Amino acid sequence: MSGALAGISCLVTGAGGFVGHRILEMLLEEEADLREVRAADKTLSGRLLHTCERFQSKIQVKVLEGDVQDPEFLHRSCQGVDLVIHTAAIIDVTGQTSKETLMSINVHGTELLLESCIQNSVRYFIYTSSLEVVGPNTSGEPVVNGQEDLLYDSKLGFYYGESKRQAEQAVLRANGRMLQDGGSLVTCSLRPTYIFGEGSQFLQIHVDQALQNGGVFHRISKKEALANPVYVGNVAWAHVVAARAMMDPHTAKKMAGKFYYICDDTPHMSYSDLNHALGRELGLGVEDRLALPYPLLYFVASMMELVSFLLRPFIRYVPPLTRHLLTLLNTTFTFSYKKAHQDLGYTPRYSWTEAKRLTSTWIASILPQELKKK
């Protein structure tokens, strides 16, 4: 389906972020016939500006600095655009961000962007969602190779997952809405599983902690708590594939108003064992077991949350461990990309071997100089 986006103007929000930047790069590399790409972010990093400059001679690239909470900025950004890929969001798994901020940016910002699309007759909208809109729930009920028709009691214990779920619902509800020019909006949502790869802030934190721990990753998840991580390059590729599928009326009808799980062929393993798999060849190890038995860790997390609650009138204390995070890291929660393959034609572009090599090379680049010489 190469060239399916020929003549299209595309806006990518959150284009400076981990996933958004990779989507931007892949669009610029794969869709040389795009009429225009607009890269929007709240702050313009040197990396984002460099990427846009690098492709400026091949495709018209505009860099837009602004906030998804600013209706005027969104209106300007959407004028003359055919496709929006909305990745901009606050990601928070530890409770650093207030509920008000999460809802304002992740939910209200998405609603404002959808309205701008309606007013400017933007025909296509792809939303970057999260596996946390599903769970794991507060009971830690496992899922093995879940699919889109799975009935799961998503009792979410965290504001981030709730904010992403409300935003996704707004996107899917907007499918079919009449545009200013009389056409109708086509929307879909992509739900990646845990994303790893070059530039991952979470992976960088884990590497830093391992270095402080004598080159050994902390065991943050039980070996049997399986996840199916997905490489960032495959997440970006899924967005390009979804955009191409939207341009085909037959496929667009099939995918309109739906969500899809996005993963790849990375082996199912715990979060801790993923860290080890990516750092093993660099000499990084992993602890054999959790620091404490899981029930005791859960009790410690509960006490930390209680202390945070009691201190709230006086100071803001963010616990390093919460029951939600502990449940997230220690619940088997795996999904299938079968539906995305059937409806969108998505197949992972990068193998596990390639994804591991690229990510390990990046980890090596951020290691202290003395370790690189070993």
Q: Which amino acid is at 256?
A: A
- pLDDT category at 2 given cuts 50, 70, 90 is very low
Classify residue 336 by burial, with Cβ atoms within 10 Å: 0-12, 13-18, 19+: middle
- 1, pLDDT greater than 50: no
Report the percentage of the chain scoring pLDDT > 70: 98
pLDDT computed for residue 47 by the predictor: 85
> The tokens of 14 are what?
């959150």
The reply to whether omega before 136 is within 30° of 0 (cis) is: yes
Chain segment 51-89, per-residue pLDDT in tens: 888 887 788 999 999 999 999 999 999 999 999 999 999
Using the predicted structure, report yes or no on whether residue 370 has a pLDDT greater than 70.
Answer: no
Burial class (CB in 10 A: 0-12, 13-18, 19+), 64: middle
Confidence band (pLDDT; 50, 70, 90) for 349? very high
Using the structure block, give the residue that is written with the tokens 């990427």.
51
Q: Tell me the residue ranges of DSSP E strands in the chain.
A: 9-13, 36-41, 60-65, 83-86, 124-128, 143-146, 186-192, 195-196, 216-217, 230-231, 258-262, 285-286, 333-335
Alpha helix stretches (DSSP H) within 256-351: 271-279, 294-311, 323-329, 338-344
CB-based burial label for 335 (10 Å; 0-12, 13-18, 19+): buried
* Cα distance between residue 250 and residue 247, in whole Å: 9
Structure tokens belonging to residue 340? 């995305």
Q: State the pLDDT at residue 15.
A: 95
All structural domains of the chain: 9-276+329-365 (3.40.50.720)
Which tens digit of pLDDT belongs to each residue from 147-204? 999 999 887 778 999 999 999 999 999 999 999 999 999 999 999 999 999 999 999 9
Instruction: Tell me the two tokens of residue 177.
Output: 């809405």
Whether 330 contacts 168, CB under 8 Å: no
Q: Nearest Cα to 265, choosing from 354, 343, 364?
A: 354
Place of tokens 């899917």: 172
d(CA 229, CA 197): 10
pTM for this prediction: 0.94
Which positions are annotated as active-site residues?
A: 164
Which residue's structure tokens are 């951020």?
366
Cα gap 178→11, rounded to integer Å: 20
Q: What is the pLDDT of residue 59?
A: 87
What would the pLDDT profile of 119-143 be if each residue is shown by its tens digit? 999 999 999 999 999 999 988 999 9
Whether 3 has a pLDDT exceeding 70, the answer reads: no
CA dist 61 and 87 (Å) reads: 18
Counting every residue written for the chain, the total comes to 374
